[in-house]
Every structure is written in C-alpha cells, then in structure tokens.
Amino acid sequence: MSFYQSTIFPVNLFKPSKSRFGLLFVLLLLAGTGFSQTISQANRKTLYLKEDSLKELSRKIVMADEASDRFRADSGFIRMFVRALKVPHSFYYPFDSLNISKLYAPDSSFRIFTWQLKKDEYVLMQKGAIQMNTGNGSLKLFPLFDVSMYTRNPLDSARDQDHWIGAIYYRIILKEYKGRKYYTLLGFDDYSISSNKKWVEVLHFDDMGKPVFGGPFFSFKEDSVKKGVQSRFNIEYKKEAKAFLNYDPEMDMIIVDHLISETDEPDKKFTYIPDGDYEAFKWQNGQWVHVNKLFSQMQKDGDFPKEAMILDDAGNADEQKLEEASRKNMQKGAPPSPPVKQKQPPSKKKPAN
C-alpha cells in the first residue's frame, strides 16, 4: 500500500444499516463535546446522510479504474461536499469516513482538506479547500487550485489560493511572530512515475483574511555554503525509497532525511535515497532556519527523538511509522470545543523549456 493510500484513505469505520442508525446517531452525539454542543441534532443527521454519499464518491476518486470515472467522481464529490459544508456549523462535523486528508489547525481557526486526482501515470493534480471557523456557523471556504504542473520554480514566491503548489497535508505546526500566526503544513506529493516529493509550506492569512502560501520563511544563513531564502522547501526522492520529513515537538524542529544520489547522478532526483544523516529546520525570528547536520551535534550515537523514531534495526527509514503517526495526527486534530476567538520526466510538474 502506498503512503498516499495508507495515510489519506483510512478504512471505512462503519456501514450502519437503517436499524442501527438510531443507536449510531446517539453515539455520535455523545462522541465529542465540541461537536455535540455546536451542531443541532437535525443538522447532524443531515450531515451524516450526506457523508454516506460522499464516502463512495471519495473512494471512486482514487479507486476507479478509468480516468473518466475518477474525474466524474471528483466533480460530483466537490459539488456535494460544498453543499454539505453549507449546513450550519459543519466545521465541527469530522467527516471521518471520507477518503481525503482532513486537518484542523491547532487553534481551531480553520481546517484544510486535500486529496489527489490522477489522470494517468504522468499527470495528476492535488485538490483542496480551507474551511474557516466562523462564529455564526456560516460557510467561509477558500478552494485551492494546484498550478504546480505549470510552475517552473515553485520555491521562489508567495502564492494565493488560485496559484497553490499542491500537496496532501499530514501535519500542521502553529508558530507566532510579531503577533501574527503562521501555520506550517507538511505534505506529500505523488510527484511522478519515478519520484515522490514532500513539502514544507508556511500558510498565513493576510489583513483581508485571505490565505497566503509561502514567503521568505526558509533560511540557510547558518549553512557553510550559503544560498538564498526560499518561499517553501521540498525534498524529492526515488519512488521506492522511504524518506522522512516530520516535526518533533520535543526538539521543536522539523527533521528531514539527508538525501544523496545512489548512482552518483545529483541532477537526477529520482535516484535520491536517505544516507543515514539528518537535516532540520528550527523556528527563529519568523523563519525556519536550516540545520545542515543535526544529530552529530545534538545527539549521542544511536539516540533519536522518540516521536521521530522511524529507524529499523538496520538503520533504514521506516515509512510505515510515519504513516501511522500522520494518521493519528489527522484523527486527533478535531477541535474539542469552539475556540475562544472568533515525477522521471516526463512528469506532471516539470514544464517543458
């Protein structure tokens, strides 16, 4: 099973019959204090029924054999999902059974949905939307449009919702600087037929309340070989490899596998694999500052921060543990109560010269 399937497409939790609906409905009402306090019984029942239809469409987006069926399912899913989100206070309905990524911001100010639509082995795109938490329960939604297929240099600019560099997000990290909140998104990209990517993207909201992706957030000023500030960060690696990129809260760092070309061809990213060393990013003065080599400076031999422990006995990266951690992060991201405040070329994302 791929990272994308196992992380983003959980097993359907239940398939209730009509005779079990009443019991299930009572259990749902009791399940979460924030949810049950915010959504009326009638609206929760409406959302439950809509979710049942959405679940099958979300499955077909990935599992349907024909591209035409996947595109048809995606179109139907978007229309039906928007109608469901218009139900008052839908923000507090978890949509647990949908086969898409669903992440709540740590401060419950928004949640972000992402998923992937695949045409064939060479062309795919990410889809997404940000749902804001509104005080009156009305829908404020920002659809995201993936333009990475047409972007020559995705690392060099801040972007709005119409020019998003798509990814399937598996974690959100909240940081603050000078009174503004910054949400760092970690994401996966099934990039090409021969390589995958993982992304680190900083999201904030401008003075008009609109989402802004990227900016001067990734600094390499402490590296011996200096390079310019980047608007976002990614790694690209061999399809069969298992490269680690995740946040360790105890160290308060984003930890990344250091990659090298297994064939000594550094221009060919699809040959990159982990070499056993680790890089990192630490938050300093409103930027993620690169740490070129982490554990030789900060850890004893064999030590590794517990949450980021993804090495097997042979010292190889274990992607399955990252997948499990990502699923847990997705599942526990729902807010407990309302907040106080209101690809080897040709690849789909490498444009022709």
Cα–Cα dist 254/252, whole Å: 7
The end-to-end CA distance of the chain, in Å, is 35
* Three-state DSSP class for residue 128: strand
Residue 35 lies in a domain: no
Helices (H) and strands (E) in the chain, counts: 7, 14
What DSSP state is assigned to residue 12? P
Q: Count how many domains the chain has.
A: 1
Contact 137, 38 (CB under 8 A): yes
The dihedrals phi and psi of 41, each to the nearest 5 degrees, come to -60, -40
Tokens linked to 80:
């039906």
Burial 201-216, CB ≥16 within 10 A → b, else e = bbbbbeeeeebebbbe
Strand partners, 254: 247, 281
Which of the residue ranges 4-8, 179-183, 303-307, 339-343 has the most confident prediction, judged by mean pLDDT? 179-183
Residue 169 lies in a domain: yes
pLDDT tens digit sequence for 82-128? 999 999 999 999 999 999 999 999 999 999 999 999 888 878 899 99
78: pLDDT strictly greater than 70: yes
What DSSP state is assigned to residue 98? S
Cα–chain-centroid distance for residue 153? 21
Q: How much is the mean pLDDT over the chain?
A: 80
User: Largest Cα–Cα distance in the chain?
Assistant: 67
Residue 80 lies in a domain: no
Residue 216 lies in a domain: yes
Contact 302, 143 (CB under 8 A): no
Domain residues for the domain of 299 are 99-331
What DSSP state is assigned to residue 120? S
Residue of higher predicted confidence among 344 and 37: 37
Count CA atoms within 13 Å of residue 318 on its CB side.
13
Nearest to 133 by CA among 113, 112, 111: 111
Look at residue 320 in the predicted model and tell me its pLDDT.
53
What DSSP state is assigned to residue 114? E
**pLDDT-derived band of residue 274, with 50, 70 and 90 as boundaries?**
very high
Phi-psi region of 108 (alpha: psi -120 to 50; beta: other; left: phi over 0): left
Cα–Cα dist 307/244, whole Å: 12
Report the alpha-carbon angle 79-184-247, nearest 5. Answer: 120
Q: Which pTM was predicted?
A: 0.76
Cα–Cα dist 329/149, whole Å: 29
Look at residue 152 in the predicted model and tell me its pLDDT.
87
* Three-state DSSP class for residue 74: helix
Residue 250 lies in a domain: yes
Contacts of 153 (CB under 8 A, 6+ apart): none
Q: In the block, which residue shows the tokens 């009305």?
A: 138
Percentage of residues in the chain with pLDDT exceeding 90?
A: 67
Residue 291 lies in a domain: yes
Residue 234 lies in a domain: yes
Residue 200 lies in a domain: yes
Lowest-pLDDT choice from 9-23, 41-55, 133-147, 226-240: 9-23
Q: Where are the beta strands (DSSP E) in 160-271?
A: 168-177, 180-189, 195-205, 211-213, 218-219, 233-238, 245-248, 253-261
